[in-house]
Structure 1
Amino acid sequence: MVTELWERVLHQRGAYSQLALAGERVVVHERRTRLVCLGAADGTPLWDVPAVAWPRALVVVGRRVLVLPQDRDVLACLALTTGELLWQAEVEHWTGQVAVADGVVLVGGWRGYTPLAAFDLTDGRPLWRSGSRAATERPVAWAGGFLLGHGARAWLVDPRDGRESASWELPRPLTGADGRPVFTVVDADRCAVGCDGGAVVVLRADGRRPELLMTHEGPLLGEAPLLVDGVLWLREVRAAGAGYVVVDPLDGTRRWRAGLGTPAAQGVVGTADGTVLASEGGRLFRLDAGGGVAGRERLGGRIAAVHDLGAGRLLTVTRNSLRAWRL
């Protein structure tokens, strides 16, 4: 049986609230104009600073919080411990997406609106900028660089100078995620990619031809697979019986299908004896090691997403709040 630990009312739609987890801290945008850091144990506010309405990106790396506001053309870097502004750098209007690799912050490429631009994580010093507008799905750090992709092509760039170091032609176009992740780093050698038509493709760091890992017979949501407990979880579209399809990242073998009988919320959390996921309708599902439903509990309200808080704790994003639970 789950026990509620705390709740934080956001005073705005939970599904639209940018959120980042960092150990025992939860950083969240709330009340339309505030950025707040909460203690994971009890939800106590550790700092509360003015922010902007609906930031385009919120990323925590180490002891720094990176924010891309919508109403100011800057990239802001805050201290995770205090919320203090450490530096800010000018960016072009409509800049979206943030990734960090090797001490470099990369922004831009969202919808092809802006060039890519790179800054030093320590002090915000500009490092390089692409010569023209660039279109890419959300980049990730992998294989010593930034992995980018658009259409049926993926490529790797050096963090320090932006030069392309490798590229792959995909068997199918990338799924259109509009700023959501499409790349899932499996390990140092492999990266799983969500593609059109319910397909998952695997890239290899050694540059070999991409492998079509699997194709699901039904439609999947346009997002990256989730890597939890060594397997890939693929969320099905909102339809009766929708849930998650679970496949082996090595050979694409379908392990099981977690059908919930109702649309699944975003996120899967690993536990000591299985996994936990939730339905959008507010029900928690416990799965055993073989994917069978071992238990169901009603949490109440609607759930947009679940996150792992560590130490046997779960964070749910509801209609207008964050709620933490002991599993």
Structure 2
Amino acid sequence: MEALWSRPLHARPGTHAVAAEGGVLVVAERHSRLARLDPRSGEMLWEHRIESRWGSAAVGGGHCLYVSQTGVLDCLDAHDGRPRWQLRMPAHQHHLTVGGDLAFVGGWRGYRPMTRIRLSDGTPVPGVVTSADVSRPVPVGSGALLFAARDEPALYLVRSVDRADRWVVPAPVDFPDAGDAFGDGVVFVCGRRTVMAFGPERGVQALWRHDRDLPWCPPVLGGGTLWLAEDASVTVVDLVTGGRTVVTDLPRGAVCAGVATPAGALLPRGDGHLVVVDRSGRICARVRVPAPIDRLLPGDGDLVHVAGKGHLTTLGA
């Protein structure tokens, strides 16, 4: 992979103040604007004034949403940026996610309860999903969202209707303050050594038991292969044969969740380095971006957006 474009943001946005879905890429930049960018060129398509770059963005169903640290939730038309509605809530919401025809917000550090809001008009849906300290929810199809509660050995699947399913796991799912518990797939580390996956129909499934503690960084799963990013190495596991390869010729530091690509796993490392490790454990690409990496977002086709300190960079094959 190679860098296609890089855009200075003139400030370090919040970890989740960038979102990509369905060909729409938005990011909070400078100090007070949300911008939609062309995913392949980085050209700005529209901008909208916001109250703070410290917030969370989400895209879905033709809507673009942004909740600032102050609690102002804006809903815009994703195509042209025109305002649709605005809702003022208490500060420190975060964990903004779109599931079906609803937006879910709250649950970060347990400061505010996770609640539902109708995308069509910004009306809050009565009832609280949870008031606990939870991970950032991830969509898992048909309007359902999955999240883990900190210090509780369980996963929760919440549907757009008033229904929630609970799966008990062997140990709590570890996740950082930003709330990213799950890798693409949905795959996660339970406790410190057990790697598990989740599917709405089959529930939770144990994939691998590692022989040493893993960092909080979610694994990458693709085509029967598991990539485990560790601080000094990457372990590639063949889930069919049980064989594994340890890769050490790479920059130190597991930074955040990687993503699966046709060539293998794209894994972020310290000091702005990224490596592509294939299923045999061979490093087939190395890329360096202008800033330390906070988050990777898969884009359409072969694109991967890299959000970091003061920059947004897009990679492509």
Give the structure-1-normalised TM-score.
0.79
Instruction: Show the counterpart of 2:213.
Output: 219
RMSD: 3.3
Q: Secondary structure at the match of 2:192?
A: helix
2:107 pairs with one of 106, 109, 128: 109
**Deviation per CA, 1:17-51, whole angstroms, max 9, x where unpaired?**
72212344421111121111111222111112211
Task: Count residues with an aligned counterpart.
Answer: 313
Give the alignment of 1:197-276 within 5 angstroms. 197-203=192-198, 205=200, 210-228=204-222, 231-236=225-230, 239=231, 241-242=232-233, 244-247=234-237, 253=242, 255-259=244-248, 260-276=250-266
- Quickly say closer, same or farther: Cα 1:257–1:26, change in 2 above 3 A: farther
% identity of equivalent residues: 28
Structure 2, unaligned runs of 5 or more: none
Structure 1 runs not aligned, ≥5 long: none
Write out per-residue CA displacement over residues 171-212 of structure 1, whole angstroms, 9 at most, x where no aligned residue. Answer: 1111033342213573xxxx533322132234454577x544
Q: Secondary structure at the residue paired with 2:10?
A: coil
Alignment partner of 2:282 out of 273, 288, 292: 292
Q: Which residue of 2 aligns with 1:97?
A: 95
Match of 2:311 among 295, 301, 321: 321
Q: Is the contact made by 2:266 and 2:275 (CA closer than 8 Å) also made in structure 1?
A: yes
Q: Distance in 1 between matches of 2:221 and 2:20?
A: 17
Residues 295-326 of structure 1: CA distance to partner in whole angstroms, max 9, x if unpaired? 44566664445544445445444542223345
- TM-score, normalized by length of structure 2? 0.81
Query: For residues 99 and 197 of structure 1, what CA distance do their matches in structure 2 show?
Result: 27
Which moved further from structure 2: 46-55 or 272-281?
272-281
Tell me what 1:62 maps to.
61
Find the counterpart in structure 1 of residue 140 from structure 2. 142
What residue in structure 1 maps to residue 153 of structure 2?
152
Do the aligned residues in 2 keep the contact of 1:228 with 1:268 (CA within 8 Å)? no
The CA distance in 2 between the partners of 1:14 and 1:114, in whole Å, is 21
Displacement of 1:83 in angstroms is 1.7
